[in-house]
A and B are shown apart, each in its own frame.
Chain A
C-alpha cells in the first residue's frame, strides 16, 4: 500500500511543481497578489476608516467580521461535538492500567511556580486581547493564552483542581455568551439603522465619532471571540484527557 500510494502523491506533486514555475518570484512587489486593489484598499484606508493601526485586526474584525463570526461558531460547534462524542462514554477504567503509569503527587516546585505564574499569564492574556489593535494580538491569541492558563493548572495539580475553577457547564455558558456578544453587536448595529455588523452606526449610542465607534466595537467583538475560544480550548483538553469522565486524566 505504501508504494502504490506514492504514485498518485507524486503525480499531484509533479502537477503542482509544474504550475509553480509560473508563479511570480517570491517577494515580488509587482506580483498580482501584491497589486490587488482589495489589499491596496485595506492598506491605504484602514487608518482613515477605523483609526486602528493593526491592519490585520481591522480587516479581521471589521471589514471581514462576518467570517470571524462564523469561525467563532465553528470553534463552538467543535467544543459541543467533542462533548457529545465523549460524554458518558468513559465508564470505569477499562482493563489494567499500564505498568509505567504511577499516580503522581503534585510536585512542590511545579505547584508553587505555577501558583506564581498563572496570574501573570492571565494578565498577559488580557493585555494581548486589549492591545490587539496596536500590536500583534487580538481575540484569538488572547483567548488561547487564557485557556492555556487553565490547562496549566490542570497539568500542575490534577484535572479536578482546574474543574473546580472552571466547571464545564460554566465553560459552555461562557462560550455561548461569546457568540451572543458578537451577534449582539451586529444586531445592535442593525437596529440602529445600518447593516448587520456595520459598526459605524454605533455612534448613535456611544459619544464618539464614526471611526472611533468602529474602533470600540472591534474591541467588543474581540472580547466575544476571546470568551468562546478560551472556554472551548479548556473544554477540549478536559474532555480529551479524561475520556469524557472528567475524573483523573492527565
Chain B
C-alpha cells in the first residue's frame, strides 16, 4: 500500500486485499454471496474513500455475516435492525461511508419497517439486498420474496403468501437510487456498486443471488448464459430498451403500455423504443412491474435522483443553523431558564 496525493487528502492506493479480513468466510461453497463479497472488495479501492471511513452494517442472516469479512469498521447486529443502526452511524458521523448488507428476510420481513422509513428519509446509506428468495440460515423456510406455492419446511403444502416486489416498494418510498444486479454479473455489479456508493442519498441495490443449498436455480431464468439475454434487459441511461441475444427485441409504449416488439421484422426500429432515463420516476414505476415471463426484467441503474437532500444533510443543516444563531450557547442560562428568581 503506497500513498499518493489525491486532491487535498492523502488517499492511499488500496487493493481488494486491503479490505479482506483474516476471518474464514463461512458461506456454503458455491453460494452467490461470495461473488458479491468479491465485487465489493474490488470496488472499494475505487470509491475514493479512506479505508477507516467505511462502515459495513448488517442484521442477521447468511448475508449479514458480510461485515466480518470486510477489513473496515463494521457491525453485525440483530435481526432486521441493521438500517436503524446504520442511520445512527451516519447521523453521528456523516463523513463515514455507510453500507448495509442484508437478505430478503432481514430487509423485507423482520426489518421491513426500517427499510421503508430509511428509504423514505433518504439517509445517505448504500443498501445491498442479497435476494435469494429463501431463508438460508434458518434452514430453508420460504421468504417474503418466495413465490406463492413454494414448498418449504413451514409450507409443506405450498406457501400461501404472495411475494413482495422489492423494486415496487422502493419506488413507493421515494427512494433516490434504485438498481438491480445479478450475482454472476460481476461487471454490471461493479458499475452499480460504484455509482451506489457515490450517490448522495439512500441507494438500494437488489442482487439476484443464488442459494445453492435451499433454493438453487431460483434465478436461473435470469442468470444463465442462455436465459440472461432473453429474460433480462440491461438499462443504460439515454439508450433505448433493447434486449435479446442478438439485440433483436425492444420495449416500446403502445397506448401507454409497455410492449415487447421485434426489431427484426422491419416494423419497428430503435427510434420507436422507450429511452431509459434514470431520472424519470415514472419509468422506474414501470420497471418495477416488468416481470418474467411477460417481460424481460430490467437490470442496471433503474433510477437515480441526486437532487433530493439527504436526511443527514438536513439534520446537520438544522444543527448548523441553530449553532449559527446567537454565538456560543450558554449552558448556565439554559439551566436557569427564563423564569428564575433570587432568594436571599
The answer on A and B forming one complex is no
